[in-house]
């Protein structure tokens, strides 16, 4: 997708006499934002799918859905959004699908309380001390997810490993490659500092006389601190114009 112009977090856009503020506001997805402006003495916040419901109903707390596939760790998503809106103090919240939420102060407080409770609930559900390892489908990820070797013999993929723990984390990531595909390196071993990410570049090469045609899946076998997680993550590899 071609991007004509990127907008930075916190940027202000002037449009037909209005000042539109754009802030990164994750929630239902890591990639959400809030667009807000002051209009006729009211602060109006456009929040997308991150928040909607009826502020007049004390049983509603504003969250729309929990979708792990949206890369939405609670503290970094809904928790961040709730704190952000508490500080922004909007008079009107405009959700997606034309949902209008006037006088949302108490509603946002309930939203913030829920964002704290949901962390406790998932922490109790997951077998690990850090619930993110059972919830987040991206703590090992490949970029690009679709690697194209249809017209070139070599391409690069970046593997990123995330550490949610308070201590250094050791890892071993082994790429399970189809015949005719080689990787340099084929196994990633190393450490990641507490609460951080580390990325590794891998060069992939294809031998077309042996490689399968079309699309292949490349699983990644994961070991963290000597605990085997198995083939938890993957990326796609295309070796021919078929199945574009």
CB-based burial label for 234 (10 Å; 0-12, 13-18, 19+)? middle
CA nearest 206: which of 180, 224, 187?
180
Q: What is the DSSP string of 195-211?
A: TEEEEEEEEEEE-TTTS
pLDDT digits (tens, 9 = 90+) for 217-238: 999 999 999 999 999 999 999 9
Structure confidence at residue 242 (pLDDT) = 60
Mean pLDDT computed over every residue of the chain:
92
Structure confidence at residue 69 (pLDDT) = 80
List where CATH 2.60.40.10 sits in the chain: 139-238
Q: Give the span between the Cα atoms of 3 and 150, in whole angstroms.
A: 25
Structure confidence at residue 96 (pLDDT) = 83
Q: Rounded to 5 degrees, what are φ and ψ at 58?
A: -65, -10
From the CB of residue 34, how many other CB atoms can be counted at a distance below 10 Å? 23
Q: Is 17 helix (H, G, I), strand (E, B) or coil?
A: coil
Strand order in the sheet with 11-15: 11-15, 18-24, 33-39, 42-48, 92-95, 100-102
Superfamily for the 11-133 domain: Ribonuclease Z/Hydroxyacylglutathione hydrolase-like (3.60.15.10)
Structure confidence at residue 188 (pLDDT) = 97
Q: Give the span between the Cα atoms of 91 and 44, in whole angstroms.
A: 6
Paired tokens of 82: 């709730």
pLDDT digits (tens, 9 = 90+) for 166-182: 999 999 999 999 999 99
Classify domain 139-238 at the CATH class level: mainly beta
Over 60: is that where the pLDDT of 33 sits? yes
Structure confidence at residue 64 (pLDDT) = 64
- What confidence category does residue 67 fall into, taking pLDDT thresholds of 50, 70 and 90? confident
pLDDT digits (tens, 9 = 90+) for 124-166: 988 888 999 988 889 999 999 999 999 999 999 999 999 999 9
The torsion angle over the Cα atoms of residues 129, 121, 83 and 42, rounded to 10 degrees, is 160
Give the angle 83-95-113 at the CA atoms, nearest 5°.
30
Over 70: is that where the pLDDT of 244 sits? no
pLDDT digits (tens, 9 = 90+) for 180-216: 999 999 999 999 999 999 999 999 999 999 999 999 9
Over 70: is that where the pLDDT of 243 sits? no
List where CATH 3.60.15.10 sits in the chain: 11-133
pLDDT digits (tens, 9 = 90+) for 85-107: 999 999 999 988 767 999 999 99
Please report which residue ranges of 33-148 form alpha helices under DSSP H.
Answer: 78-88, 105-125, 132-135
């Amino acid at each position: 997708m071609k991007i004509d112009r990127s907008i930075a977090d916190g940027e202000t856009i002037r449009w037909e006499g209005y000042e539109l503020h754009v802030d990164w506001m994750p929630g239902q997805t890591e990639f959400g934002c809030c667009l807000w402006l002051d209009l006729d003495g009211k602060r109006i916040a456009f929040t997308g799918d991150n928040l909607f419901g009826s502020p007049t109903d004390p049983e509603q707390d504003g969250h729309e859905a929990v979708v792990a596939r949206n890369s939405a760790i609670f503290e970094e998503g809904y928790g961040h959004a709730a704190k952000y809106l508490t500080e922004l103090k909007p008079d009107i919240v405009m959700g997606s699908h034309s949902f209008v939420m006037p006088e949302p102060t108490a509603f946002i407080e309930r939203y913030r309380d829920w964002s704290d409770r949901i962390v406790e609930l998932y922490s109790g559900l997951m077998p690990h001390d850090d619930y993110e390892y059972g919830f987040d489908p991206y703590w090992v990820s490949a970029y690009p997810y679709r690697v194209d070797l249809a017209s070139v013999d070599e391409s690069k993929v970046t593997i990123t490993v995330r550490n949610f723990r308070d201590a250094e984390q050791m890892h071993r990531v082994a790429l399970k490659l189809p015949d005719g595909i080689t990787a340099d390196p084929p196994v990633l071993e190393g450490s990641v500092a507490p609460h951080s990410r580390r990325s590794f570049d891998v060069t992939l090469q294809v031998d077309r006389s042996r490689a399968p045609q079309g699309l292949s899946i490349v699983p990644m076998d994961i070991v963290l601190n000597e605990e085997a997680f198995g083939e938890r993550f993957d990326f796609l590899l295309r070796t021919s114009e078929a199945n574009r």
